[in-house]
């Protein structure tokens, strides 16, 4: 129903698509309906008043021609929008690729400065170089996210299917995000059990876990706790990240996996973020055959989960062995 009302908001649709209102597909579709109705009524009156099959045939030809012309404009507009969308994804992809090289150079040069020439630098100079290095890393992450988004949008995100130790990669991610947690006064608890072997792309699963964990840390106001745990659900291993942070307002929870979406409270409290992490994570998890879901309460906290197929080997007698 809401979608139908939105479709009727022609001005909004035209603005969203960046076209004039009379080129918006819904407007053209509406026009086609109106013209069909007028044409049918006119045909009815013509056939009633003129007892001539020629006039009726001409009237029907005119109606068909008008419907054909409008239908053709709708297809043309939709094609144009699809083409522009493809061009946009290609542009993002090329621009991101080009940005990678200078960013790597900045990273290497700052690392050399800090490791080889640190003795010749005073405190202020060292701090400035460290800032450049951190900003460079932030930009590199953004560029990688944009590349992943472009790959997803073009259906080119290729995931490996390998045997992955989820416990080991979670441990690695925790090590990576520890400085962020310490800076934000957040405690990370990992209920570590036996190795959990799953099937997926190790690097991309690492990115998915990092997105969950860094969100838990970022959106935990002040002294917080972020807890990582595993559980088994049939043929799947479920990874859960619980925090006692800002939570997500109920009215905005339906948008949380949309590209570039950030909730109002996140925008107010935490300026760093792009709204791409969960969109990418959802695509990685679903393409790996798993599911993603969450529960959240504003000012109480959130729990984000994803499931991923457990690695299993078929035994000769048909049973399955999990290791």
Interface with ligand ADP, residue 240, by CB under 6 A: no
By CB under 6 A, the count of residues binding ligand ADP is 22
Interface with ligand ADP, residue 306, by CB under 6 A: no
CB closer to ligand ADP out of 15 and 250: 250
CB closer to ligand ADP out of 93 and 220: 220
Task: Tell me the closest approach of the beta carbon of residue 139 to ligand ADP, in angstroms.
Answer: 14
Cα–Cα dist 32/37, whole Å: 9
- Choose among 152, 147, 269, 288: nearest CA to 215: 269
Interface with ligand ADP, residue 215, by CB under 6 A: yes
**End-to-end CA, the chain:** 48
Task: Tell me the closest approach of the beta carbon of residue 240 to ligand ADP, in angstroms.
Answer: 12
One of 200, 216, 224, 290 touching ligand ADP (CB under 6 A):
216
Among the residue ranges 9-17, 58-66, 171-179, 214-222, the one whose residues contact ligand ADP (CB under 6 A) = 214-222
CA 93 to chain centre: 15
**Which residues partner with 190 through β-bridges?**
228
Collapsing DSSP states into helix, strand and coil, what is residue 102? helix
Among the residue ranges 90-98, 152-160, 256-264, 308-316, the one whose residues contact ligand ADP (CB under 6 A) = 256-264
Cα–Cα dist 121/316, whole Å: 66
One of 243, 284, 306, 310 touching ligand ADP (CB under 6 A):
243
Among the residue ranges 35-43, 60-68, 69-77, 255-263, the one whose residues contact ligand ADP (CB under 6 A) = 255-263
* Strands 224-233 and 186-190, bridge-based pairing: parallel
CB closer to ligand ADP out of 219 and 311: 219
E-strand spans in the chain?
A: 162-165, 186-190, 197-200, 224-233, 236-243, 292-297, 301-309, 312-314, 320-322
Per CB under 6 A, which of residues 260..289 are in contact with ligand ADP?
261-263, 266, 273-279
From residue 214, alpha-carbon distances to 121, 241, 249 in Å are: 32, 10, 19
CB closer to ligand ADP out of 113 and 246: 246
Cα–Cα dist 251/108, whole Å: 44
* Residues making contact with ligand ADP (CB under 6 A): 211, 215-216, 219, 243, 245-248, 256, 261-263, 266, 273-279, 302
């Amino acid at each position: 129903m809401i979608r139908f009302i939105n479709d009727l908001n022609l001005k909004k649709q035209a603005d969203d698509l960046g076209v004039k209102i009379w080129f918006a597909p819904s407007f053209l579709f509406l026009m086609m309906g109106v013209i069909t109705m007028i044409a049918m009524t006119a045909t009815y009156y013509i056939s009633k008043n003129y007892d001539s099959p020629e006039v009726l045939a001409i009237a029907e030809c005119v109606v068909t021609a008008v419907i054909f012309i409008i239908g053709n404009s709708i297809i043309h507009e939709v094609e144009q929008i699809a083409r522009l969308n493809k061009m946009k994804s290609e542009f993002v992809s090329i621009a991101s690729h080009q940005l990678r090289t200078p960013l790597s150079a900045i990273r290497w040069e700052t690392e050399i400065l800090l490791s080889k020439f640190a003795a010749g630098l005073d405190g202020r100079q060292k701090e400035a170089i460290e800032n450049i290095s951190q900003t460079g890393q932030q930009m590199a992450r953004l560029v990688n996210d944009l590349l992943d988004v472009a790959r997803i949008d073009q259906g080119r995100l290729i995931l490996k299917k390998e045997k992955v130790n989820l416990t080991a990669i979670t441990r690695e991610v925790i090590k990576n995000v520890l400085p962020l947690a310490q800076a934000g006064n957040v405690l990370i608890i990992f209920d570590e059990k036996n190795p959990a072997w799953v099937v997926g792309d190790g690097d991309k699963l690492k990115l998915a876990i990092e997105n969950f964990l860094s969100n838990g840390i970022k959106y935990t106001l002040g002294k917080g706790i972020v807890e990582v745990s595993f559980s088994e659900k049939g043929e799947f291993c479920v990874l859960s990240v619980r925090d006692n942070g800002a939570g997500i307002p109920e009215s905005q929870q339906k948008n949380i996996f949309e590209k570039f979406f950030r909730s109002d409270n996140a925008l107010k409290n935490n300026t760093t973020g792009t709204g791409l992490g969960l969109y990418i994570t959802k695509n990685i998890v679903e393409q790996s055959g798993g599911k993603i879901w969450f529960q959240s309460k504003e000012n109480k906290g959130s729990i984000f989960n994803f499931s991923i197929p457990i690695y299993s080997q078929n035994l000769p007698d048909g049973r399955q062995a999990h290791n």
